[in-house]
Amino acid sequence: MALLNPGDEVIIPTPYWVSYPSQVDVLGGVCKYIETTEANQLKVTPQELEAAITPRTKIFILNTPSNPSGMVYTKDELQALADVIVKHDIYVISDELYEKLIYDGSHVSIASLGDEIKERTIIINGVSKAYSMTGWRIGYAAADARIIKAMSNIQSHSTSNPAQASQWASLEAIAGSQSVVDTMKDSFKERRQVLIDGLNQLPGITCIEPSGAFYAFPNISSTFGKRCDSGVITDAVSFCELLLKEQLVATVPGSAFGSEGYIRLSYATSMENIKGALERLAVFLEGLT
Ligand X SMILES: Cc1ncc(COP(=O)(O)O)c(C=O)c1O
What residue ranges bind ligand X (CB under 6 A)?
17, 63, 67, 95, 97, 126, 128, 134, 139
Residue 213 Cβ vs ligand X, minimum distance, rounded to whole Å: 7
Residue 134 Cβ vs ligand X, minimum distance, rounded to whole Å: 5
Between 64 and 223, name the residue whose CB sits nearer to ligand X. 64
Residue 237 Cβ vs ligand X, minimum distance, rounded to whole Å: 20
- CA 30/CA 149 separation, integer angstroms: 24
Between 66 and 247, name the residue whose CB sits nearer to ligand X. 66
Between 20 and 239, name the residue whose CB sits nearer to ligand X. 20
Residue 173 Cβ vs ligand X, minimum distance, rounded to whole Å: 12
Between 19 and 177, name the residue whose CB sits nearer to ligand X. 19
- CA 237/CA 220 separation, integer angstroms: 11
Between 239 and 257, name the residue whose CB sits nearer to ligand X. 257
Residue 26 Cβ vs ligand X, minimum distance, rounded to whole Å: 16
